[in-house]
Structure 1
Amino acid sequence: MAGRPKIFNEQEAVEKATEVFRDKGYDTASAEELLCAMGIGKGSFYLAFKGGKQELYVRSITQFADHFHQKFSDSISASEDKIQFIKQFFLNLADASDCDKERGCYLGNALVQLSEKDHKIKKITAELLKKLQSLFAETIRNAQKNRQITSTEDPEVIGWYLSNLWNGIHVTRRMESSPEILRSIIEMNLKIIN
């Protein structure tokens, strides 16, 4: 017996659950809040997400990471000055007053909070960092080739450096919210791509 057919869009339901996870965090998001946001009942939920809340969270992180990477990749590709785009991407992190304004924060939080507790989440976040690193490295390699930057450092290492900066800024923002201080830290780190 195949069971009852799904009567909801899983992707949309996961997006709605993601908002709850972003606002509340994984540990404090209740099943009731998630079901209410998703607009589905308990039976439909467990039919679609047999692993319960944990499976939903893993799906949320996966879907969010894929969307984040695609949007970032498309934006870099469309940018006329890719190095300036990367710099502005980081500088925007300093000006975002909270996670609601900076969507990548959800991934940063998952990376910091849960990646050591859950192997699947660790794998997803590691893959995201590798994709970011590759994108940064490719952009740096092209900029060096076109003499847009003076740095002669290995593009692969600079790619990891920038991925580490993205990751580190999310951790630092938990302790320091001053845009001026965050901007200074970011600007100092970005000197590597001048």
Structure 2
Amino acid sequence: MAGRPKIFDEQEAVAKATEVFRNKGYDTASADELLCAMGIGKGSFYLAFKGGKRELYIRSITQFSEYFYQKLSVGIAESEDKVQFIRQFFLDLADASDCDKERGCYLGNALVQLSEKDLEIKKITVQLLKKLQTLFAETIKNAQANGQITSIEDPEMTGWYLSNLWNGIHVTRRMEGSPEILKSIIEMNLKILS
């Protein structure tokens, strides 16, 4: 016997749980809040997420990471000016509404708060950072080759630099709320893309 069929969309339920985790954090998000947001009962929850809240959280950051990376990589690929797209991606962080300073960045929070406590979460966040670094490095290498930028910095190290900037901006946002100051910091760092 295969058991009762699922009567909910897991991807959609995980996306709804992600909002609870983003707002409350992993430790303070209660099971009742998660179930209410997901619109499912305990039986369905434990049937789909046998590892409970931890498994749901891991699925949440995995799904969020994949969506984030896909959106960024497609945006770069479809952009006529790939370096300008990266510049704008960073400048938009200064006043992005989906990653406000109170909540921080969801992936940044996972990296800073939980990755040292949980090796699986650390692995997911490290994989995302490596993918970001590789995406940035390939874009920079191509821009150098076609003369779009004059920087002679190693593309691999520039990729790491930009990944580090992405992390750092999310941390800085927690203590500095001025979009103007954040933009100035980002623009100073983006001189490496000249």
User: Which TM class, normalised by the smaller chain length?
Assistant: over 0.9
CA contact (8 A) 2:104 2:171 kept: no
> 2:146 — aligned with what?
146
1:121-172 Cα deviation digits (max 9, x unpaired): 1101100001100110000001000111111011000000000000111111
Q: Pick closer, same or farther for the CA change 1:63–1:169 going to 2, 3 Å.
A: same
How many angstroms does 1:100 deviate by?
5.4
RMSD: 1.7
Pairs aligned (count): 193
Counterpart residue identity of residue 187, structure 2: E
Asked if 1:128 corresponds to 2:152, the answer is no
Asked if 1:116 corresponds to 2:116, the answer is yes
> 2:75 — aligned with what?
75
Counterpart residue identity of residue 130, structure 1: K
Equivalents in 2 of 1:190, 1:20: separation in Å?
33
How many angstroms does 1:104 deviate by?
8.8
Counterpart residue identity of residue 86, structure 1: I
Q: Pick closer, same or farther for the CA change 1:65–1:98 going to 2, 3 Å.
A: closer
Asked if 1:18 corresponds to 2:18, the answer is yes
CA contact (8 A) 2:104 2:173 kept: no
Q: Pick closer, same or farther for the CA change 1:15–1:97 going to 2, 3 Å.
A: closer
CA contact (8 A) 1:97 1:177 kept: no
Q: TM-score, normalised by structure 2?
A: 0.95
CA contact (8 A) 1:134 1:159 kept: yes
CA contact (8 A) 2:104 2:174 kept: no
Q: Pick closer, same or farther for the CA change 1:75–1:48 going to 2, 3 Å.
A: same
> 1:175 — aligned with what?
175
Equivalents in 2 of 1:38, 1:186: separation in Å?
37
SS of equivalent to 2:20: helix
How many angstroms does 1:3 deviate by?
2.3
Q: Pick closer, same or farther for the CA change 1:12–1:98 going to 2, 3 Å.
A: closer
> 1:3 — aligned with what?
3
CA contact (8 A) 1:91 1:186 kept: yes
Counterpart residue identity of residue 145, structure 2: K
CA contact (8 A) 1:112 1:171 kept: no
After TM superposition, the structure 1 = structure 2 runs for residues 100-115 of structure 1, keeping only pairs within 5 Å, are: 105-115=105-115
Counterpart residue identity of residue 2, structure 1: A
1:83-122 Cα deviation digits (max 9, x unpaired): 1110010011112256259x99211121111111111111
Equivalents in 1 of 2:13, 2:64: separation in Å?
13
> 1:91 — aligned with what?
91
Structure 1 runs, 4 residues or longer, greater than 6 Å off: none
Counterpart residue identity of residue 144, structure 2: Q
CA contact (8 A) 1:14 1:59 kept: yes
- Stretches of structure 2 that go unaligned for 5 or more consecutive residues are none
